[in-house]
Structure 1
Amino acid sequence: MFNFDEASKKSKEAMDGVLKSYTEVARGFQAIATEANDYSRKSFQDMTSFMEAFRSVRSIEAAYELQTKYIKSTYDGFIVEATKMSDMYADLAKLAYKPYEAPVAKSTAVATANAA
């Protein structure tokens, strides 16, 4: 027989878990936004420094070398940042899914037991 009190209790537990994790997920989004802002600022500062150095170059070879160094460091920095951001998004996804793990496991166990 269906127990309304038990269903209500399970529903309340699930909602409490979701609301509890909301703060953690919001912090995760804030950390990602802060990281993106910091990377943008650093990237802009690096480009500004490069342009200032590029203006003072007097030969094609020196300009080529300076540009090559800048592009290599920018690319390496981007790869590091992209890896860091993808890890942050993966962690955020885990945080967002966390409140649903226990209720899903419980309901799966109950459904499996009832089916057997």
Structure 2
Amino acid sequence: MINVEEMQKYGKEQFDSVVASAATMQTSAQAIASAVSDYTKKSYEDGNAFVTRLSGVRSLDKAIEAQTEYAKSSYEAFVAESQKISELYADLAKQASKPFEGFIAKMTPAR
């Protein structure tokens, strides 16, 4: 049986754990925002470069070639950045659940 003092102690430990992990979670959220921002900026710049290149093309074959290269490079960049950002989200989820792991282990009765 768990008494009141032990519950207060567990509560304080849990609160301290949550406060300590908040900084880590904030850092993870900032990393996600930065990665999304960087990808958006690069994607915009690549799109502008493509339009500039396409405006200088004189034949249909060259236009199709430019569009194909742009589509391929855009897709590859999207997949790479999506994987990077999904890993950042996975790390954030791990950090968010970390404070509760110890609390649940302590509150679960031994069998």
Which TM-score tier does this pair reach, normalised by the shorter chain? over 0.9
- Find the counterpart in structure 1 of residue 38 from structure 2: 38
**Which amino acid letter does the alignment assign opposite residue 54 of structure 2?**
F
CA distance in 2, matches of 1:50, 1:81: 19
Please tell me whether residue 86 in structure 1 is matched to residue 90 in structure 2: no
- Find the counterpart in structure 1 of residue 15 from structure 2: 15
CA distance in 1, matches of 2:38, 2:83: 15
- Find the counterpart in structure 1 of residue 105 from structure 2: 105
- Find the counterpart in structure 2 of residue 26 from structure 1: 26
Deviation per residue, 1:56-91 (Å, 9 max, x gap): 000000000000000000001000011111111001
**Structure 2 residue ranges without an equivalent (≥5):** none
The two structures have a TM-score, normalised by structure 2, of 0.96
**Structure 1 residue ranges without an equivalent (≥5):** none
- Find the counterpart in structure 1 of residue 69 from structure 2: 69
RMSD between aligned alpha carbons?
A: 1.0
**Which amino acid letter does the alignment assign opposite residue 107 of structure 2?**
S
How far 1:112 sits from its partner (Å)? Answer: 3.1
CA distance in 2, matches of 1:58, 1:83: 37
**Which amino acid letter does the alignment assign opposite residue 45 of structure 1?**
E
Q: How many residues align structurally?
A: 111
- Find the counterpart in structure 1 of residue 48 from structure 2: 48
How far 1:107 sits from its partner (Å)? Answer: 1.6
Tell me, what secondary structure is at the counterpart of 2:83? helix
Deviation per residue, 1:15-70 (Å, 9 max, x gap): 10001101110111111001000000000000000000000000000000000000
